[in-house]
Amino acid sequence: MGKALSLGAIPTIEIEIYQREDAFFPGLETRLSLQKQLLIESFEYHYNNNKLYKDFCDKTGIGINEVYADQRLIPLIPSIIFKSMSVRTNSGEKTVKSCLSSGTQGSVSTIERDNTTLERFLGSIRNANDNVYNVEDAIILNLGASSEEAKDVWFSYVMSVSDMIFPTINYVQNEVFKVEKLLFDIQKYKDDYQVIFLIGAPIMFLELHKYMQASNIKIDLGHKIFVITAGGWKKYEGQSVSRREFKNYCLEMFIGVEHERIRDVFNMVELNTILPECECGSKHIPLWLDVFPINLDTYEVAKPGEVGLLGFLDASPKSYPGFVMSGDLGKITYVDNCPCGRNGICVDIVRRINTIESRGCALKIEKKLTQR
């Protein structure tokens, strides 16, 4: 009885994030009921506690009644706005982490997170680990810098959070990639853990590959290795390789590594949730999040398979509205029909639009919104 009473104090969204086994695989019924409810609650909360956001909504003519009718009408804040001002919601909690985007294109976003927001973020990573990666015992070898050294850039922060789930070691120190230490540690830890997660930007794996080829090193631990790429190519776009080529590079480094254990994860600083890939390489959208591409000519939601600018409705952050018009082009690949056999919507992020394009889009969208 006592347990039931204390559970009642936990917001529904937290129960879904922390406990639900199929959180990343919500079927149609869950999306129509629970997802809709979480998004409406989140909208109402930010609308009532964030003056800037309320003004923005009022300007677009969208209020609570409109959102009750269709939650996809929730006004999206162009990510460019996060680069120019603080969009802090008065959550009654202080900021414990100001997170920065990597800002390779010049401008940097700062997102203020309070404790509740960070805990939900950590919860979503835990859930993905338990129910998407299905890994119980692992060590994480990060082909990147520590959060302190990377000065709170979001992805390094994500890695420091993962340290609360599995022990994590960083292999970029003073801007130097410690390849030899990494190779040494893979051997050192191989018997202590079921799985060795190697996580990093794709360019770091290419660096590792170059070193191993030059030194004629191969590692015969394919059954233990789990490769996760994150963050895309960014300023290394010129060196980018296709996913298929990337997997071949991995196979050359790690004999026997399973294709389905080479996965990408999407995250961006404005999003309080990671998008993990299932074993079929599809990025599954959890139930507290809605993602839809917007056709830039019609401003309508694009049909499945059609590329558009991705809009995100994330119900999980409390210290800022997680309603973001991103700078990424993408498309919906599966609706309850991913080859992995699980339910839910899957999204493919096609590419990041450049700053000039995104400024243009943001202006167009703002104009469109204020004309409604």
Question: Would you count residue 77 as binding Zn ion (CB under 5 A)?
Answer: no
Instruction: Give the nearer residue to Zn ion in terms of CB position, either 79 or 343.
Output: 343
264 vs 236: CA distance, rounded Å:
17
CA distance 190 to 67: 52
Question: With CB under 5 A, what is the number of residues at the site for Zn ion?
Answer: 5
Among 23, 139, 195, 278, binds Zn ion (CB under 5 A): 278
SS3 317: coil
Q: Which of 340, 345, 361, 369 touches Zn ion by CB under 5 A?
A: 340
Question: Least distance from C-beta 104 to Zn ion, angstroms?
Answer: 30
Q: Which of 313, 338, 345, 365 binds Zn ion (CB under 5 A)?
A: 338
By C-alpha distance, which of 264, 188, 191 is closest to 226? Answer: 264
Q: How far apart are the two ends of the chain, measured CA to CA in Å?
A: 50
DSSP string over 58-113: HHHT--HHHHHH-GGGSPPEEHHHHHHS------SS-EEEEEE---TTS---EEEE
Q: Contact, 346 vs 333, CB < 8 A?
A: yes
Query: Measured from the CB atom, is 198 or 340 closer to Zn ion?
Result: 340
Pick the stretch among 49-57, 181-189, 191-199, 274-282 that binds Zn ion (CB under 5 A).
Answer: 274-282
**Residue 231 or 344 with smaller CB distance to Zn ion:** 344
Instruction: Kindly write out the interface string for residues 292-331 of this chain, putting x where it contacts Zn ion by CB under 5 A and - elsewhere.
Output: ----------------------------------------
Residues 6+ apart with CB under 8 A from 256: 220, 221, 222, 223
Per CB under 5 A, 336 contacts Zn ion: no
Residue 332, interface with Zn ion (CB under 5 A)? no
Q: How far is the CB of 121 from Zn ion (least distance, A)?
A: 22
Q: Which stretch binds Zn ion (CB under 5 A): 112-120, 224-232, 246-254, 275-283?
A: 275-283
Minimum CB separation of residue 179 from Zn ion in Å reads 33
Burial pattern 23-51, b for ≥16 Cβ within 10 A else e, equals bbbbeeebbeebbbebbbebbebbbebbe
Which residue do the tokens 């879904």 mark? 16
- DSSP per residue, 230-281: ES--GGGGGG---HHHHHHHHHHHBTT--GGGEEEEE--TT-SS-EEB-TTS
The residue among 92 and 339 lying less far from Zn ion, judged by its C-beta, is: 339
Bridge partners, 337 (sequence order):
none
Question: Greatest CA span in the chain, whole angstroms?
Answer: 65
d(CA 362, CA 90): 25
Q: Which stretch binds Zn ion (CB under 5 A): 181-189, 231-239, 296-304, 337-345?
A: 337-345
> According to CB under 5 A, which one of 280, 301, 307, 353 is a site residue for Zn ion?
280
From 8-16, 74-82, 187-195, 278-286, span contacting Zn ion (CB under 5 A)? 278-286
Name the residue with tokens 């830039």. Answer: 296
Q: Is 282 in the site for Zn ion (CB under 5 A)?
A: yes
Question: Closest CB to Zn ion among 204 and 347?
Answer: 347
Q: Which is nearer to Zn ion, 253 or 278 (CB)?
A: 278
95/127 with CB nearer Zn ion: 127
Closest CB 284 distance from Zn ion, rounded Å: 6
Cα–chain center distance at 65 = 30
* Binding string, residues 228-267; x marks residues near Zn ion by CB under 5 A: ----------------------------------------
Give the footprint of Zn ion on this chain (CB under 5 A).
278, 280, 282, 338, 340
